[in-house]
Amino acid sequence: MAFQIKGHGWEMLVKRLGLQHGSRHQVRTYGTYQVYIDGVETDLSGHICECTGPGNNTRMGKTEHLRIREGRYAVSTQYGLRYRSVGYTRDETHPPAFLLLGTGVRTAILVHPGHPPKLYLSSIGCFNPTKPLRAGEKMVFTESRARVVAMLNSLKQHDPAAFARNKIGDNTMIEDAFVVVDGEPMKEVREEEEVEVA
């Protein structure tokens, strides 16, 4: 079943391409992302890293560090002890992030930058936006962070009221904003796909 955008509101389409294997048994799901506003492509696009599959929104998925199931997820601001939609830091102390809703028993599924000390994959279910990467390459924190900040700025412009409450625990659903995840590939990413434009 293919998941596509509906053409209204703020939508981030994640297309999973497959798996990448790095050194020392490192593996990640690699894909592309494109943000649309009312069905129109924006300049917010690139690649994305997440855990290996198959997609699983049950407790087993969390325990085994699997990616979430493909589907359409509403979006919320995130104000936790570490990741934040407002008041984030320039370093990895409090990285910028926003939260996916409706992920079953999986909690704290975020879009956040790849950050030290795990720059190959900074996730047990989350999404790390990045520039194009070959299978053995690591993410660059400042570059990944800039992508998340750009998406947060776009979301804030889309629904400023959702960002008014910004204390820990004040997560607020962002009106008419979604992450759409398409694909459940378990094959290796082809070399030519690793650097294709989103």
For residue 191, give both structure tokens: 């070399």
Q: ω into residue 129 within 30 of 0, thus cis?
A: no
What is the rounded average pLDDT of the residues 155-176?
A: 93
Cβ–Cβ under 8 Å, residues 14 and 127: yes
Task: Encode pLDDT of 16-28 as tens digits.
Answer: 999 999 988 899 9
Task: Encode pLDDT of 49-96 as tens digits.
Answer: 999 999 999 999 999 999 999 999 999 999 999 999 999 999 999 999
Structural domain boundaries in the chain: 10-186
Q: Which of 120, 117, 99 is nearest to 108 (CA)?
A: 99
Evaluate if residue 120 carries a pLDDT over 60: yes
- pTM of the shown model: 0.96
* CA 43 remoteness from chain centre: 16
Instruction: Map residue 122 onto helix, strand or coil.
Output: coil
DSSP 71-121: EEEEEEE-B-SS-BSSS--SSSSS-B-EEE---TT----EE----TT--S-
Evaluate if residue 1 carries a pLDDT over 80: no
Give me the amino acid identity at 83.
Y
